Amino acid sequence: MKRVRVRFAPSPTGPLHMGGVRTALYNYLFAKKHGGDFLLRIEDTDQTRLVEGAEEYIINALNWCGIPPNEGVSVGGEFAPYKQSERKYIYKPYAQELVEKGFAYYAFDSSQALEEMRTRLVAEKVLLPQYNHITRKEMQNSLTLSSTETKHRIEGGEQYVIRLKMPVNEEIKVNDLIRGEVVVNSSQLDDKVLFKSDGMPTYHLAHLVDDYLMNISHVIRGEEWLPSAPTHILLYKYLGWEEVTPEFAHLPLILKPDGNGKLSKRDGDRLGFPSFPLTWKDPASGETSQGYKERGFYPQAFINMLAFLGWNPGTTQEIFNMQELIDAFSIEQVSRRGAKFDFEKAKWYNQQYLRARSNDELAKEFLIIICERIPDANHDKLDKICGLLKEKTQFVNEFWNIGSFFFIAPQQYDADTIKKKWNENSLKAMNSVLEDFSSLVEWNHLQIETTFKIACEKVEVSPGSVQQLFRVFLTGLPGGPALWEIAEILGKEEVINRIKTAINLI
Ligand code: GLU
């Protein structure tokens, strides 16, 4: 088998949507699985759509995700440059070669003429209102004009594009690794522009020439390119590169949570989940969109989740580290159907990674957050605290919300619990608890629990009826991690203080 060389080829028109990251990921996994190369190529031939900062964002995002290219923009390589605007001079000869061979032609139509053609075709209810083997006969191009006239116009500096001369009624076959054989009749297809009047190639020509020159073996890209694939197959043939035509795999869409249509940034904004791997600040509008990283996701969890959006290994295992993904991945197991995005599932993945982390590692992460609030916090029990908190949330950045009471005594008590549970009996029970806690020597969660229960029973109060009150006295909150462990971590003196303070305050 030919050396596997795949490329991720985004256009720097904005941040990378998670759908784009998944395309990059599948390329990466495929390359690594086959000991091949994963390239990053920037496709910026449409200079009008460039967005400042987008290229840098793409590079940073791939690095954060742990899927860096081993060749391409930012790393270099044998086939540099990897940015199409820097390769501008390469493409035109190929377009001209196609004209010379009779597979392409010059077209001089103004945008107004093209618009008029479209309007007329739509009015006539033509099924495919496009520049094609029928309509080109009525337009201003080197097929309708004499060769002297064509030459005259070009030499006179008239603007022109180069269009592919789509043949009539030919069957074009695309062998897709995911979808199998797709057959299209060429009469359905339009005469795509290959080279623009601004001196730049279009995507169709540029990516194909680059894939050829960069020895790309497999083109793995989004499903939206499937309709163009027959045109590309034809171009390989016309350029005499049939033998080295790459294999194709068109990836299914990532769908909205309800399954209706392609997932977009708007869905994320509407439903409250990130669409991009890293936070992005739009340079034009100044609008900021939070990324998965900043939302608190671990890159491994994000990647594991994305890998499963459209692929699965055919077993019940869901947690895969990068090496396991590489080993298990196969293009044939990528689904043809779109995959519904589920943010709850994404959070579940993060939780699995959170729980798998050692308390010690979590303590380091949490310490950064704590220090932003209380620089001189006492953290000798941070490991234990993290051990408790990780069972209750999916993100380290939520530890503070649910566990700040470990560092700051509660300022407020859950009103509902107080209303329901605070009465003469509970006061009696808490006073008894206070007394027995004071004489308790071994301060550990088992002893605390037993002592608490005996103290309540001594004054004929059921321990179950005051337990939640005790929790609220210690934490302010009606729910949270294991109560007796919280008490153990807080320490005897602090627990006694908190009970006393609460009794005085209520
Ligand atoms: N520049 C194209 C895009 O951004 C790449 C398509 C391809 O991979 O061929 O979608």
Considering the domain architecture, whether residues 420 and 496 belong to the same structural domain is answered as yes
Considering the domain architecture, whether residues 262 and 301 belong to the same structural domain is answered as yes
Query: Based on the number of CB atoms within 10 Å of its own CB, is 359 exposed (0-12), middle (13-18) or buried (19 or more)?
Result: middle
| AA identity, residue 105 | Y
Domain boundary among 385, 406, 427: 406
Domain boundary among 341, 375, 406: 406
Considering the domain architecture, whether residues 429 and 495 belong to the same structural domain is answered as yes
- Contact partners, residue 424, CB within 8 Å, separation at least 6: none
Considering the domain architecture, whether residues 402 and 452 belong to the same structural domain is answered as no
Q: Is 11 in the pocket of ligand 1 (CB under 6 A)?
A: yes
CA distance 281 to 283: 6
| AA identity, residue 133 | H
CA of 208 to the centre of ligand 1 (A): 11
Q: What is the pLDDT of residue 381?
A: 93
- Enzyme catalytic residues: 265
Residue 174 lies inside a defined structural domain of this protein: yes
| Pairing between β-strand 218-222 and β-strand 247-251 as defined by DSSP bridges | parallel
Token couple for 459: 């004054």
Q: Is 217 in the pocket of ligand 1 (CB under 6 A)?
A: no
Considering the domain architecture, whether residues 390 and 429 belong to the same structural domain is answered as no
Residue 211 lies inside a defined structural domain of this protein: no
Q: Is residue 303's pLDDT more than 80?
A: yes
Mean pLDDT within 143-161: 98
Ligand 1 atom nearest the C-alpha of 9 is 5
Considering the domain architecture, whether residues 419 and 371 belong to the same structural domain is answered as no
Q: What is the pLDDT of residue 376?
A: 82
**Exposure on the CB side of residue 417, measured as CA atoms within 13 A:** 21
Domain boundary among 346, 373, 406: 406
CA of 9 to the centre of ligand 1 (A): 5
pLDDT tens digits, 320-378: 999 999 999 999 999 999 999 999 999 999 999 999 999 999 999 999 999 999 988 76
Q: Is 43 in the pocket of ligand 1 (CB under 6 A)?
A: yes
Residue 244 lies inside a defined structural domain of this protein: no
Q: Is 10 in the pocket of ligand 1 (CB under 6 A)?
A: yes
Residue 451 lies inside a defined structural domain of this protein: yes
> pTM (2 decimals)?
0.94
Probe target for ligand 1 pocket from 11, 30, 232, 262, with the most ligand atoms within 8 Å of CB: 11
Sign of CA dihedral 417, 419, 425, 428: positive
Q: Taking a C-beta distance cutoff of 8 angstroms, is the pair 346, 303 a contact?
A: no
State the total domains in the chain: 4
pLDDT tens digits, 398-426: 999 999 999 999 999 999 999 999 999 99
Q: What is the pLDDT of residue 2?
A: 86
Domain containing 350 — which CATH number?
3.40.50.620
Going by CA atoms, what residue is nearest to atom 9 of ligand 1? Answer: 221
Q: What is the pLDDT of residue 380?
A: 84
Ligand 1 atom nearest the C-alpha of 203 is 1
Residue 452 lies inside a defined structural domain of this protein: yes
> Using H for helix, E for strand and C for coil, what is the string for 201-241?
ECHHHHHHHHHHHCCCCEEEEEHHHHHHHHHHHHHHHHCCC
Please work out, in degrees rounded to the nearest 5, the angle formed at the alpha carbon of residue 210 by the alpha carbons of 30 and 26. Answer: 15
Q: What is the pLDDT of residue 272?
A: 97
Residue 367 lies inside a defined structural domain of this protein: yes
Give the chain's mean pLDDT.
97
CA of 99 to the centre of ligand 1 (A): 25
State how far the alpha carbon of 135 is from the alpha carbons of 122, 131, 145, in Å.
Answer: 13, 6, 14
Q: Which residues form the domain of 396?
A: 357-406
Considering the domain architecture, whether residues 455 and 362 belong to the same structural domain is answered as no
Considering the domain architecture, whether residues 350 and 373 belong to the same structural domain is answered as no
Considering the domain architecture, whether residues 400 and 352 belong to the same structural domain is answered as no
Q: Taking a C-beta distance cutoff of 8 angstroms, is the pair 230, 189 a contact?
A: yes
Q: What is the pLDDT of residue 280?
A: 98
pLDDT tens digits, 49-98: 999 999 999 999 999 999 999 999 999 999 999 999 999 999 999 999 99
CB count within 10 Å of CB 411 equals 8
CA of 11 to the centre of ligand 1 (A): 7
Q: Check residue 83 and report its DSSP letter.
A: B
Considering the domain architecture, whether residues 6 and 37 belong to the same structural domain is answered as yes
Q: What is the pLDDT of residue 448?
A: 98
Q: Taking a C-beta distance cutoff of 8 angstroms, is the pair 253, 223 a contact?
A: yes
Q: Is 430 in the pocket of ligand 1 (CB under 6 A)?
A: no
State how far the alpha carbon of 324 is from the alpha carbons of 7, 100, 317, 318, 439, in Å.
Answer: 21, 50, 11, 11, 54
Q: What is the pLDDT of residue 481?
A: 96
CA of 20 to the centre of ligand 1 (A): 9
User: Which residue spans within 103-236 are E strands per DSSP?
Assistant: 104-107, 161-164, 171-176, 180-185, 193-195, 218-222
| Pairing between β-strand 247-251 and β-strand 5-8 as defined by DSSP bridges | unpaired
CA distance 124 to 422: 80
Mean pLDDT within 448-460: 98
Q: Is 191 in the pocket of ligand 1 (CB under 6 A)?
A: no
Q: Check residue 125 and report its DSSP letter.
A: T
Residue 130 — very low, low, confident or very high, per pLDDT cuts 50/70/90? very high
Probe target for ligand 1 pocket from 51, 83, 203, with the most ligand atoms within 8 Å of CB: 203
Domain containing 477 — which CATH number?
1.10.10.350
Residues of the chain with pLDDT > 70, as a percent, come to 100
Q: What is the pLDDT of residue 377?
A: 77
Q: Is 44 in the pocket of ligand 1 (CB under 6 A)?
A: no
Instruction: Identify the bridge partners of residue 180 per DSSP, sorted by sequence position.
Output: 176
Token couple for 253: 């869409």
Considering the domain architecture, whether residues 402 and 348 belong to the same structural domain is answered as no
Residue 116 lies inside a defined structural domain of this protein: yes
Ligand 1 atom nearest the C-alpha of 207 is 9
Instruction: Identify the bridge partners of residue 92 per DSSP, sorted by sequence position.
Output: none
Q: Is 221 in the pocket of ligand 1 (CB under 6 A)?
A: yes
CA of 17 to the centre of ligand 1 (A): 13
pLDDT tens digits, 227-285: 999 999 999 999 999 999 999 999 999 999 999 999 999 999 999 999 999 999 999 99
Q: Is residue 1's pLDDT more than 90?
A: no
Residue 204 lies inside a defined structural domain of this protein: no
Considering the domain architecture, whether residues 362 and 338 belong to the same structural domain is answered as no
Going by CA atoms, what residue is nearest to atom 3 of ligand 1? Answer: 10
| AA identity, residue 423 | N
Domain containing 163 — which CATH number?
3.90.800.10
